[in-house]
Amino acid sequence: MKTRIFSFITMIILLLTVHSINGQGIVGLYTGHSNSSFEKQVESSGSFLFGLQAMYSLKTPSIIKLNFGLEFNYLAPSFSFDVKDQSGLKLVTRNQKQLFIGALVKVLLVNRFILDPYLRLGAGLYSGGHTLEFTESIKQEAQQQQVPLPDKLDISSSFGFNLGFGVKYKLPSMLNSALFMEFVYNIVSREIDESPLNVLAAARGSFNKNTQGANSWALLAGFQFGI
């Protein structure tokens, strides 16, 4: 709770600072595909991503333009992973949500070509729950053993970073608007408590509390008002 309060206060201060600077406001909406690159997770999972960028573009006399502000994005649906035993039998599907809210900086190279390339760097809070979907065979086994099965696991919210690059195309027929595409790589670690799964440890495997790398990457495409 304290971490979230601190992050929101920081973002409010950033917004007030941005508002006092002479520049142009930009609002971008985007969607895309995100893929997990989790530590200790052999198989990856893909999902759709939806987001919003609210930035200011600083006026500079050079060919370099600096945009900075806030970004929000959300996975829909969650990253999903099937957990199997040593014989290959599916035991449970683990669903991990991802919600990001944080600061964003873009460094654009404004030129006379069709596309303006840029680098982007972000930092902020990664959150989202972790739910479980057990197979019918496991539910029946747990019922016979009179063992309660958890429907979710506790997972921490953590600060992380993201970096990437993109290109922007100014729409000639629409004033102060553009299309953009980005590649983004997210770097974050989150602590997850797997101890509730120990109810199946004797027959199906062992679980514990650990900090896992929850990195992911995404390809985004969007539309922005303001350039």
Alpha-carbon distance of 168 to 219, in angstroms, equals 14
pLDDT tens digits, 72-127: 999 999 999 888 777 777 888 989 999 999 999 999 887 767 889 999 999 999 99
- Half-sphere exposure (Cβ direction) of 130: Cα atoms closer than 13 Å: 20
Total-model pTM:
0.83
Q: Residues for the chain: how many in total? A: 227
Structure tokens at 178: 């553009």
Residue 214 has pLDDT above 70, yes or no: yes
pLDDT tens digits, 125-142: 999 999 999 888 888 888
Radius of gyration of the chain (CA): 21
- Give the CATH architecture of domain 2-9+22-83+95-131+155-225: Beta Barrel (2.40)
Q: Is 218 exposed, middle or buried (0-12, 13-18, 19+ CB in 10 A)?
A: buried
* Ranges of each domain in the chain: 2-9+22-83+95-131+155-225
